[in-house]
Amino acid sequence: MDMSKNFGILGFPWDGGASLGRPGARYAPNAIRESAKWLQNRITDNQIYDVENRKLIDLKDLQIIDYGDIDIVAYSTDLTFQNAEAKVSKILEDGSFPFILGGDHSISYPGIKALHDHSKGKVGIIQFDAHLDLVDDSPIQGRFSQSSQMRRALELPHISPENIVQIGVRSYNYPWYAEYLENQGIVQMTAREVHHMKAKEVIEKTLEACKDVDVIYLTFDIDVLDPAFAPGSGANEPGGLTPVQCFEILDGLYEHIHAMDIAEVNPLYDHQDITVSIGAKLLFDCLTKR
């Protein structure tokens, strides 16, 4: 699949999968769009200057298309996800790069499935996250919650655990994970490990795991960041990454990916739009560095 020259923004205002985490991520797509105007204002004559990379970026060949929001069916996860998958598929068919603004982390599965079904080869997944999101099913959360999208992705025929990279995972989790992870072969770099690694090392290890895939989906759960930097998230897990770490690692990955989402930005728990502004920065970083 060729890298698209069009950049498609899609809102997914859904937090019906926030069964354990805090709801409120449905308000993130519009909040991130509004925050992005602060950066959009700097575009002049289809150019913008990247201060940190000392680079003038010409956007004249890049068409930025806002595809609006997913049609939400509040009473049905199935119908909402069907609508989402169809919309992401249309963006791919249009030759655009899908950049999805969630939404709780359950929103990743329709995007992953759309990319999976649109491509003919193997699919890799890069997941920035505090959590593992590999829960199969539970009486409280069901099968399509914010804790299950990676488990559902592994059920797709062209996705293998050795092509999944989880970056920034940390804290504590259910005891069954010990045996499950040992048997699966998912590539993990915990937050503590990333703190002791250079960005280049993280990038190289990530791309090594995805070297044999045809397309890559990147999902960025905002809670990969330490709560000190991102208070507006679905859950607080101390010991996370810094924005600078994530920005630098992502800079080395953008040119290799074919779809991306941001999940779990929660304006209801944010402070002075700190977290929302990070989402807007990620949006601009992706569209200028691909």
Enumerate the known binding-site residues: 105, 129, 131, 133, 221, 223
Contacts 24+ apart (CB under 8 A), 55-60: 57/288, 59/288
216 touches 119 (CB < 8 A): no
What is the number of other CB atoms lying within 10 angstroms of the CB of residue 77?
A: 17
- Where is the binding site for Mn(2+), in residues? 105, 129, 131, 133, 221, 223
H/E/C letters for each residue in 34-99?
Answer: HHHHHHHCCCECCEEEECCCCEEEECCCCEEEEEEECCCCCCCHHHHHHHHHHHHHHHHHCCEEEE
Q: Determine the 3-state secondary structure of 217 from DSSP.
A: strand
The residues facing 9 across adjacent strands are 66, 99
Q: Are strands 55-58 and 47-50 parallel, antiparallel or unpaired?
A: antiparallel
